[in-house]
Amino acid sequence: MRLNFHRAALSYLTDYFNVDLPARRALADRSLNPEVVSQRLQSWTGTYNIARNLARIEEDYRLAKVIEALRNSAMPETASEAISLVETVVHQFHGFYGKELKSAVSKLLWLRHQSPIVIYDSLVWGWLHDNAGLKYEEYAPFYSAWQTAFAEQSSHISNVCFELKRKGLLRFVAPDDWMEQEFSVLLDCASFRERVFDYAMLMDRDQQ
């Protein structure tokens, strides 16, 4: 299998600054007006195609229970803790919305904690099914298959991220207040490289 990590990395860089970073900052800032946080999170859920799964329910403001659940969730330190957290919050959200929201929960928890959470995406599941022998739809086997496939590609992704540092892309993609050191740290971050892998699989799946 040959994935295009150069294109994936450039694509995710744009989405990181335009989509993920504003939502992450809003979720982390407890001094913000809750309705402002709600608005930014609603925008993010729309981009990540999960807004339709989060039906309107009785609450003080839109996504209030989601925001509370995310902020109260403990940062997982290991793969087993990440799997357990996703499964726990899936059960919690079932109580809110009356259905299993495995993909939505994994995406929201990733926004809150990033690595070691792995986003459960149906297209990524399909790619892992076709290329890595994944057979089961539960989160734990998906997580394991994803980690194994990522490990096989991690050196290639690292090389691409190193190239990005040398290309001087900071001023083309990052906010004006970002410095080169911050940009370098981002490209070294596990969560960034893991999302590059996701994007590469999604792009490859779209071409099949």
Distance CA 160, CA 154 (A): 10
Q: pLDDT tens across 50-102, in order? A: 999 998 888 888 999 999 999 999 999 999 999 999 999 999 999 999 999 99
Distance CA 200, CA 189 (A): 17
Place of tokens 């040398």: 166
SS (H, E, C) 131-194: HHCCCCCCHHHHHHHHHHHHHHHHHHHHHHHHHHHHCCCHHHHCCCCCCHHHHHHHHHCHHHHH
Specify the number of domains making up the chain. Answer: 1
**Model confidence pLDDT, tens digit, residues 106-149:** 999 999 999 999 999 999 999 999 999 999 999 999 999 999 99
- Kindly indicate the confidence band of residue 1, based on its pLDDT and cuts at 50, 70 and 90: low
Helix 139-166 / helix 190-207 crossing angle, nearest 10 deg: 100
Q: Measured between alpha carbons, how far apart are the two ends of the chain, in Å? A: 13
- What range defines the domain where residue 52 resides? 5-207
What does the pLDDT look like over 169-202, one tens digit per residue?
777 888 777 888 888 899 999 999 999 999 999 9
Residues above pLDDT 90, as percent of the chain: 82
Spatial separation of the C-alpha atoms in residues 75 and 28, rounded to whole Å: 13
**Cα dihedral value 164, 200, 192, 187, nearest 10:** -10
Radius of gyration of the chain (CA): 17
